[in-house]
Amino acid sequence: MFTIIQEDLTKHNTDALIVGLFEAPKETQPAYEILNQALNNQLDDLVESGDVSTTQGHVSKVHTLGQLEAKRIYFVGFGDYDQFTVDRARQSFGRLFKQLAEDSIQSASLAIDSLYSDEPTTYAEAIGEAAVMAPYQLETYHTDREENHYELESLIFLTNDHSVVEAAEQGYALGNGANIARHLVNLPSNLLTAKDLAVFAENIADKHELKIDVFEREQIEELGMGALLAVNQGSDEPPRFIVMSYQGLDTWEDPVALVGKGITFDTGGYSLKPKDGIVGMKMDMGGAASVIGAMDAIGQIQPKTNVMALIPATDNMVSDKAFKPDDVIVSMSGKTIEIRNTDAEGRLAMADAVTYAKQQGASKIVDIATLTGGVVVALGDQVTGAMTNNQDWYDEVVTAANQEGELMWQLPYLEVYQKQVATSHIADLNNSPGRKAHAVMAGAFVGAFAEETPWVHLDIAGTAMAENAHDLGPKGPTGVMARTLAKAMMNQ
């Protein structure tokens, strides 16, 4: 999809020529000067009249009427040069690619202007992400729906820097990983059981020649995953424990474990959710979706590190077999758990997956889950809540998140909270100490199983869904943190 060519931008023949414009003086923007001259200084008039805007994120379209080889020019406003960032570039190009999709543009060329080419590969990666994420449309089941599979077929960078193509392709892989996560979260739970999720993961593994093991109920029982089995025992759908492995080093040692919550639907169990709270719970496997999306990107980019993806998958249902408040269960680690809330089920499944990661020699762990409504109350729907037992490892993850423009905020992981999840009078731990510090308590519970292994916890309950369409995609599943996880592995 991405190529480069060193050619006069006035002579290149594509459906669209893309040019970024800052509010900086025009004479400092070579592409502007070249085009203005080719258009007999009419570009100056268009900027002065406001028909072409330099405002951040504004997309202006100008037909060339045969004065250039390209049929039309799309100007992307970048705003103030001093305030321009990679994230703003990603968002601005997101708006551009949405407009190209609306106009059914199949081929385009892009002038990499010298003003933002100090880090051309960084910007090219962001452009690659925007190219695949922004026009993405979620699948629906309307009988009269129109098939919409738009994809830009060709984007040519007008530059002599060959590194931008590789960077753009990496960005495309990262963005496509996020789209895979979006697709999975969007699927209704009757079409995405634990078995279906495992089959999807197997397809991703086959695509990139990754190793994959899918454990069924008997094997899960042999592993002693009592916490995952407790969540599943009310369901007619059997559980799965999915293990995907990517080997980027010569030997398989010290893998980083990515643990994703795979609750395909959450009724709350006997701690039943209210009628308004239960709608939308197909998204409770958002953590698993992000991990699978990250593994797709990792398989495509092939970073030099070892990665293990672990997904405990089941739904949480109500039946005469379902686990109940006051039950005591035994986790894979051997720790006993008093059940005080069957709607605090995700942390139970995650506990066994984290224990498995430790037993397999994981050097570091990231868990990601749509875990608590408490994090939404605390941070809203734009910022992911995070916790850690190792600041150095957290700093690596947050660096990747910042590079991807995915906001996260560190919540406290203090001894006082660690003690509160161990206050049961009848077991080692309790799965729900109460509503106070709800998001922190959930993370602290998972942290009790990470123990001394460097661990980062990401609660995406607020950020997994977007209430409105945005620069990088439609309303609905966001695929949040799929790019961050993959980027963190690229940075190893």
Q: Which residues are catalytic?
A: 273, 347
Contacts of 356 (CB under 8 A, 6+ apart): 223, 225, 241, 243, 310, 332
Q: Which amino acid is at 9?
A: L
**Annotated binding residue 392:** no
Residue (of 204, 158, 160, 156) closest to 179 by Cα position = 204
Number of neighbouring beta carbons within 10 Å of residue 24: 17
Half-sphere exposure of 458 (CA within 13 A, CB side): 31
Residue (of 207, 211, 9, 231) closest to 114 by Cα position = 9
List, in sequence order, every residue forming a beta bridge with 108; answer none if it has no partner: 16, 155
Residue (of 83, 155, 157) closest to 117 by Cα position = 157
Q: How far apart (Å, rounded) are the C-alpha atoms in residues 235 and 118?
A: 56
Q: Which two tokens stand for residue 39?
A: 């258009």
Q: In the 8-state DSSP scheme, what is residue 470?
A: B
* Residue 221, H or E segment: helix 217-223
* Residue 488, H or E segment: helix 482-490
**Annotated binding residue 261:** yes
Q: In the 8-state DSSP scheme, what is residue 239?
A: P
Q: How far apart (Å, rounded) are the C-alpha atoms in residues 492 and 487?
A: 9
Q: In the 8-state DSSP scheme, what is residue 473?
A: B
Yes or no: say if 134 and 95 are a contact pair by the CB < 8 Å rule.
yes
Q: What is the DSSP secondary-structure string of 341-403?
A: -TT--HHHHHHHHHHHHHHTT-SEEEEEE---HHHHHHHTTSSEEEEES-HHHHHHHHHHHHH
| Start-to-end Cα distance in the chain | 27
Q: Which amino acid is at 224?
A: G
Helical packing angle, 163-186 and 482-490, nearest 10°: 140
**Annotated binding residue 459:** no
Dihedral angle over CA of 51, 56, 58, 60, nearest 10: 50
Q: Which two tokens stand for residue 22?
A: 């800052």
**Annotated binding residue 284:** yes
Binding residues for Mn(2+): 261, 266, 284, 343, 345
Binding residues: 261, 266, 284, 343, 345
